[in-house]
Amino acid sequence: MRELELYFGPQHLGMVGNFSITLNVEGDRIVKATANPGFLHRGFEKLMEQRTWIQNFPLVCRINVVEPDHMELMYAMAVEKLAGIEVPERARFIRSIYLELARIGSHLFGLWAYANMLGFDTVANWAMYHRDLVLDLFEELTGGRVYHIYIWPGGVRRDFPEGFKDRIINTLHTIGSCVPDYDNTFFNNRVFYKRAKNIGKITCEEAKRMGAVGQVLRATGMKQDIRKTEPYAAYDQVDWEIPVRTDGDAYSRIWVVRDEMIESVHMIFKLLDKMPEGEVYNKIPNPFKWKIPDKDAYVRCESSRGELGLYLVSNGGDKPYRAHFRTPSYNHGLTILEKALENESIADVGNIMISLYITAPEIDR
C-alpha cells in the first residue's frame, strides 16, 4: 500500500492546541508520527530574564493556560529556595488545598476534552460545569478565574475569606455526588471501554526510558509521585494513596485521572481538618531593592500532568539570570506521543493525544 504524509494540526478540530503532528500513514495505519511543536512559542523563559523577581510572579502562570497554579508554585518555591524565605505553616496548607483544587479543575478540563473528543458530549458538559464551580472558588479566593496570581514567594497572597472552608466542602460534595453518574456514563461505559482499551499502549520500561511522568507513568504500574517522594507544601501532613493502573493504555490513563480526582477531594477534606491558624505570608524584601545572591536552584512538583520542574539561576541581580521549565507535556508530546501513535489508526490520534494529557503551551514556552 502507498505511504502518505498527512498533516494533523495545527488547524484541526481534534488538535489539543497550537501543535501539529505529521503522520506517515499506510491506509488507516500510522507508520510514523513526527510531532511539530513551535506554534505557540512566546519566549517566556527569555522574558523572565528581563523582569524583576516580583514582576515575574504574574508572568509565570501564563506559561500554562490549563493549569497556571503549579507554575506559580514552581516560581515561588525556586525564589524561596534562592532567597531563603520561609513559608508559614498555614500558607503551606492553603497552598496544598489550592493546588489540589487546581488539579481537580485541570483534570475536569481534561475530562471535558477527552469526552468531547470521543463524542461523549453529556459528560463533557458536566465536566465543564463542575470545572466552573472550581473556578468560582478560585475567583473568591484570589480574584481571578483562570490566572489566579496567588502563590507568591513567602506564602500566599491573601488568606481564606470568611466561610470559604464551607464553600470548598459544598462544592466538592456537589462534584463528588456526581461521581456515580460519571462512572455510569463514561468510565464504565462499554463504548468508551472499547475505544480506549489497548489504545496508545506504553510499557513501563518504555515509559521510564522516554521520561514519562504523571499519570502516563502511573498507568503503566509505576508508583511515582513527587508529592510522596519529595513532599512540598503540606503533602507530608496527611495520608493519601497514589492511584496506579498497570495496563499503560489510554483507558488506564483516564482511570488514573479519575482516581486521582477522588483522592484529591479526600486529601482536601483532610487538609481542611488539619489546617492551622496563623499567618499566611512572610514579607518579601522591598521589591525595588530585591537582589538575590549568586545561586541556582532546581525545584519540582507534581502538576496535574506529572512532574514539573524549574531551574532558576540568579547572578546576584534583581532579575533571574536564567530560568528553565521542565514540563511534563514536553516529553509526553514529543517522544512518547510519537511512540504511542505507531501502528495505531488515524481515528485514534486525538484519542491517544488527549489521553496523554498534552497541553501545547507547556511544550512551547
Partner 1 sequence: MTGNSILSPFNAVKYLFVKPKTIRYPFEPKEPAQRYRGFHVNDWEKCTGCGNCADICPNQAIQMIKMPELESKSGQKNERPRLDYGRCCFCGLCVDICPPGSLKLTRDYFHIHFDPKTFVFIPKDQKTEPGKYMSAEDYSVLKASLSHRKKDYEGFVSDLKFALFEPDRVTMPMIDPDVRKLSFIEQVVGYNPEEAKKEASRCLECRLCEEACPAHLKISDYIQAIYEDKPEESLKKIYEDNPIPSICGRVCMAYCEQACSLSIRGEALSVRWLKRYAADTIKDFITALELKPGTSTGKKIAVIGAGPGGLSVAYFLRLKGHEVNVYDALPGGGGTMRTGPPVYRLPLESIDKDVNYIRSLGVEFIFNTRIGKDVFFEDLLKEYDAVFLGTGNTKSRSTKVKNYEKCELAFDFLSDNKIGKQRKVGKEIIVIGGGNVALDVAREALRLQNIQYPGENIAVKTVSLEDWHEMPATKEEIEEAKEEKIQFNPAWGPKEVVLDNDGNVKGLLCKKVKSVFDKEGRFAPTFYEENEMFLEGDMIIEAVGQAPDFSFIPENLFEKLEFTERKKVKVDEKGMTSIRKVFAGGDIVNVNLDAVTAIADAKVASVGIDAFLSGK
- Footprint of partner 1 (CB under 8 A): 51, 54-59, 62, 122, 129, 136, 139-144, 147, 149, 157-158, 161, 180-181, 183-186, 188-191, 193, 197, 281, 283-289
Q: How would you label 272-282 residue by residue, b for 16+ Cβ within 10 Å and e otherwise?
A: beebeeeebbe
The residues near 189 (Cβ < 8 Å, ≥ 6 apart) are: 120
Which residue's C-alpha cell is 516580583? 54
Element (H, E) at 232: none
CB of 58 to partner 1, least distance (A): 3
Do 72 and 150 touch, CB atoms closer than 8 A?
yes
Q: How far is the CB of 35 from partner 1 (least distance, A)?
A: 30
The residue (of 254 and 353) whose beta carbon lies closer to partner 1 is 254
Amino acid identity, position 113: A
CB 183, min distance to partner 1, A: 8
* Between 184 and 343, CB nearer to partner 1: 184
Return all residues near 286 (Cβ < 8 A) that are at least 6 apart.
none
* Alpha-carbon gap, residue 57 to 77, rounded angstroms: 11
From the list 328, 302, 299, the residue with the least C-alpha distance to 312 is: 299
Least spacing, CB of residue 62 vs partner 1, in Å: 8
Residue with cell 480506549: 196
Shortest Cβ 60–partner 1 spacing (Å): 11
Do 68 and 146 touch, CB atoms closer than 8 A? Answer: yes
Compare residues 2 and 283 and give the one whose CB is closer to partner 1.
283
DSSP codes of every residue in 62-96:
GG-SS-HHHHHHHHHHHHHHHHT----HHHHHHHH
Among candidate residues 259, 263, 267, the one with its CA nearest the CA of residue 238: 267
Measured from the CB atom, the residue of 129 and 269 that comes closer to partner 1 is 129
CB of 289 to partner 1, least distance (A): 6
344 and 352 in contact (C-beta within 8 Å)? yes
Nearer to partner 1, 170 or 184 (CB): 184
Nearer to partner 1, 27 or 143 (CB): 143
Give residue 231's identity as a one-letter amino acid code: P
What residues form DSSP beta bridges with 24? 5, 32
Of 51 and 81, nearer to partner 1 (C-beta) is 51
Pairing of the two strands 29-36 and 3-8: unpaired
Q: How far is the CB of 360 from partner 1 (least distance, A)?
A: 21
Q: How far is the CB of 162 from partner 1 (least distance, A)?
A: 10
Q: Closer CB to partner 1, residue 59 or residue 212?
A: 59
